[in-house]
Chains A and B, each alone.
Chain A
Amino acid sequence: MSEVLTRDETGGAVRPVRRRRLRSPAPRAAAGGVCAVVLLALPFYVDRFWLEAGLFAMAAAIGAIGLNLLTGATGQLSMGHAFFLAVGAYGYCVFAADGSDGPVGLGLPAWLAAVLAVAVSGIAGGLFSPIAGRLRGAYLGIATLALIFIGQHVLFNARDLTGGFNGRDVPPLSLFGLTFDDRELVVADVPFGSAEKLWYVGLLLLLGGALFARGVLRGRPGRAMNAIRDHRIAAGVIGVPVARYRAGVFVLSSMYAGLAGVLLALVFQRTVPDYFGITLSLDYLAMIVIGGLGSVAGAVAGAAFVSLLPQLLTRYSDALPLVSEPGMGGIAPGEAARYLYGAAVVAVVLFLPGGLVRLAARLRVKPRPGARVTPRPGAVEGEER
């Protein structure tokens, strides 16, 4: 799915031509079908380790979609994304826990707790948006950094709510009588633990989140958001209610972060404040840059890259050249992952403006000689400014 195209669609005239050339429905649908089958079948085959890694990537993807709406599509730099993830994760615990293990819990049904947690993240975003509405660019970025510090202070100190340093247990999700915990459920002879069960929840949430965001981006709001990013004042002049849109996107992006937080909490089975620090926020920014700014597919691709890379390197550290086993001197796998990650951020921005999705789009176009390739969207983007 390339949102890259959508952006150009604002150009208008080229649209029908490109649709026909790039999208012959049969191969695309077939590819989608194969992907769907593989994704649905994975829990039957792969280890819990991989499922968990995949779930982390899905949660990251949901959060990254939210950030991409805000930073990529609307041009509002936010470094406080981790804060809203924390609100979602802890919100879910507070609503769903029954309060028997120490910290406060309201004992609501788990699905309702999840919905409320997402809502609370949205409200938190809404509360911050008056501040956000006044600030631009770098100022906004660093002001949102304050959220991280304030958030961590609260997480460490409000023990009744958060359990303090060691965090609190996350009550398992239960839907229609099915509890997503580690009690084994045997499906087609395969034992299903929490990771296997949550896998499907994660897929559903990601799909829903992605489709919704795509709808937003492709519709009227998306164009308004892009207009605000490209020229705020001009957007206002042509009749986009800038303040309302900015606040709205902030709330929406916070809700995505909240949802990602809920999913993460369910996978972790325990929330710890250490996780929701500045590094996490920076990781999310890196995800959307690596994947591709302003697009849903980009957010997903970037999230997969950033969250799976360290796992892969750590797991296969024994087999890689140059990377040594921990404790043996040389470059440790953790460090190797950092190098690659940093280099990827730099390389993508310099050599692959538009991110991984642009690369995919190019590869897709290449094998068809004769197809008229439209001007690189990067150029279009530049001209719009």
Chain B
Amino acid sequence: MSTFAELLLNGLSLGSVYALVALGFVVIFRATEVVNFAHASLLLAGGYVTATLHDDIGFWPALLAGVAGAALVGAAVEFLVMRRYRGSDQSVLAIVTIGVDILLTTELTRRIGTDVLALGDPWGDAVLTVGPVSIAHTRIAAFVTASLLITVFLLAFRFTSWGVAMRAAAESPETAALMGVRLGRVSLGAWAVAGGLAAVAALFLTVFPTPGLERATSLAALKAFPAAILGGLDSTTGALVGGLLVGVTESLATGYQSDLTFLGRGLGDLAPYVVMVAILLIRPAGLFGTKELARV
């Protein structure tokens, strides 16, 4: 039982980090209808800035710098690349983000080289033990931070003018533009927010129990794809639920892999995708996604 509880808690905290990444996807998708494959490199960029600066300016300022840096990179991508596209096919834009991702990831991995960079977080490898269940402080911090950020974001989405503008843009770009919403600014903001969220996620993906930031860290962003999709690409609640679901599934599939050997070993990576396909079969727009309304 304590094993189950440990795996569940671990899965939840991991899932909340995935949710942060997935939320970034969703924000960009809502604002621009583009699937952002460059998210992995935003994550790496944020982590890299934090890792290189923490020795000189301390952890918290470095983290802020990381968030700002990744937000800046996100905004730059929007301003320099996405905005210049004149066509109207969103899947072409999705492919452009693949190109952007290749560029950014190559540059960052070249800089990181063969190092494993520590992020200098204050939690170290401390562990909280309650009865038979132990959980790392970093995990608790991840869960708390992620829930806090997501709540703030949901509120902002609902009540600030920026949030309203973004929702309007998602609803109908033409109408929003006519009503005076600056679409460019909305999408710029979306990319910056996604970058910032990715930087926070990068922090929690590279602290204990993971040794540090290195070239493969960005692969974690791949797990946010199923999270974003199974929740529904245009739903912020969906990103949260999807992230948690992916985290818990992964954690349980790993922890109980010896009981599942008939499926082959190493299921942890696969399980989220299987869950995703199963959910999409029942609900093609994800759990919380808006069903398509057709207008001809």
Query: A residues near B, CB below 8 A?
Result: 71, 75, 77, 131, 134-139, 141-143, 145-146, 149-150, 153-154, 156-158, 231, 233-234, 237, 278, 282, 285-286, 289, 293, 331, 335, 338-339, 341-346, 349-350, 353, 378, 381-382, 385
User: B102 is contacted by which of A136, A293, A342 (Cβ under 8 Å)?
Assistant: A342
**CB-defined contacts of A138 to chain B, threshold 8 Å:** 29, 35, 90-91, 94, 229, 233
Q: Mark B255-277, 1 if CB is under 8 A from A, else 0.
A: 00000000011110110011011
Selected A-B contacts with CB under 8 Å, 14 pairs: A71-B91, A77-B91, A134-B284, A136-B284, A149-B269, A150-B273, A153-B269, A237-B296, A278-B222, A282-B37, A286-B99, A343-B103, A345-B95, A382-B87
Contact B106 A338 (CB under 8 A): yes
Given A285-B98, A344-B99, 11 new contacts (CB under 8 A): A137-B90, A145-B273, A146-B226, A289-B96, A293-B89, A293-B92, A343-B103, A345-B98, A349-B99, A350-B81, A350-B85
| Best-buried of A150, A153, A381, A385 by chain B (most CB within 10 Å) | A153
Contacts of B20 in A (CB 8 A): none
Q: Which residues of A contact B266 (CB under 8 A)?
A: 153, 156-157
Indicate if the CB atoms of B98 and A233 lie closer than 8 Å.
Answer: no
Enumerate B74-102 residues with CB–CB distance to A below 8 Å. 81, 84-96, 98-102
Asked if A289 and B92 sit within 8 Å, CB to CB, the answer is yes
Residue contact A150 to B285, C-beta cutoff 8 Å: no
Cβ of A286: which chain B residues have Cβ within 8 Å of it? 95, 98-99
A233 touches B273 (CB 8 A): no
Closest to A344 in B: B99
Known: A150-B273, A153-B270, A342-B102. A143 touches B96 (CB 8 A): no
Q: In the complex the two chains form, is A346's CB within 8 Å of B99's CB?
A: yes
Contacts of A153 in B (CB 8 A): 264, 266-267, 269-270
Q: Pick the contact of B88 from A149, A339, A385 — CB < 8 Å? A: A385
Q: Is the CB of B100 within 8 A of A342?
A: yes
User: Quick check: B280 and A135 within 8 Å, CB to CB?
Assistant: yes
Residues of A within 8 A of B92 (CB): 289, 293, 349
Secondary structure type dominating chain A contacts: helix
* Interface status of B281 (Cβ within 8 A of chain A): yes
B106 touches A339 (CB 8 A): yes
B93 to chain A, nearest CB (A): 8
Asked if B292 lies at the interface with its beta carbon under 8 angstroms from chain A, I say yes
B189 CB within 8 Å of chain A: no
Count of CB-CB pairs between chains A and B under 8 Å: 136
* One of A149, A234, A289, A331 near B95 (C-beta < 8 A): A289
Contacts of B96 in A (CB 8 A): 289, 345-346, 349-350
The verdict on B238 contacting chain A, using a C-beta distance below 8 Å, is: no
Contact (Cβ within 8 A) B270 A149: yes
B247 at the interface (CB under 8 A from A): no
Residue of A whose beta carbon sits closest to that of B273: A146
A285 near B95 with CB under 8 A, answer yes
Q: Which residues between 142 and 184 of chain B lie within 8 Å of chain A, taking CB atoms?
A: none
Distance in angstroms from A333 CB to nearest chain B CB is: 12
In angstroms, how far is the closest chain B Cβ from the Cβ of A63?
16
Q: Which residues of B contact A338 (CB under 8 A)?
A: 102-103, 106
Q: Is the CB of B91 within 8 A of A137?
A: yes
In contact, B233 and A141 (Cβ under 8 angstroms): no
Q: Is the CB of A346 within 8 A of B100?
A: yes
Write out the residue numbers on chain A whose beta carbons fall within 8 Å of the beta carbon of B264: 153-154, 156-158
| Complex Cα–Cα for A149 and B286 (A) | 19
A278 to B101, CA, bound (A): 14
Q: Given A146-B276, A156-B266, A139 and B100 touching (CB < 8 A)?
A: no
Q: Hey, which chain A residues are within 8 Å of B106, CB to CB? A: 335, 338-339, 342
Closest Cβ–Cβ distance, residue A245 to chain B (whole Å)? 17
Q: A145-B225, A146-B226, A346-B100 are in contact. Are A233 and B110 (CB under 8 A)?
A: no
Partner among B81, B89, B286, B294 whose Cβ is within 8 Å of the Cβ of A139 = B286
**A350 B84 Cβ-Cβ under 8 A:** yes
The answer to whether B87 and A142 touch across the interface, beta carbons within 8 angstroms, is: no
Given A145-B273, A153-B270, A350-B84, A345 and B99 contact (CB-CB distance below 8 Å): yes
Contact yes or no, A342 B277, CB < 8 A = no
Q: Which residue of A lies closest to B269 (CB)?
A: A149
Verify A143–B280 contact, CB threshold 8 A.
yes
Q: Which residues of A have CB within 8 Å of B267?
A: 153
A239 to B222, CA, bound (A): 39
- CB of B265 within 8 A of CB of A282, answer no
Query: Chain A residues with Cβ under 8 A from B91's Cβ?
Result: 71, 75, 77, 137-138, 141
Contact with A along B217-254 (1 / 0, CB 8 A): 00000100110110001000000000000000000000
Contact A142 to B296, CB < 8 A, known contacts A286-B95, A382-B88 = no
Q: Is the CB of B225 within 8 A of A142?
A: yes
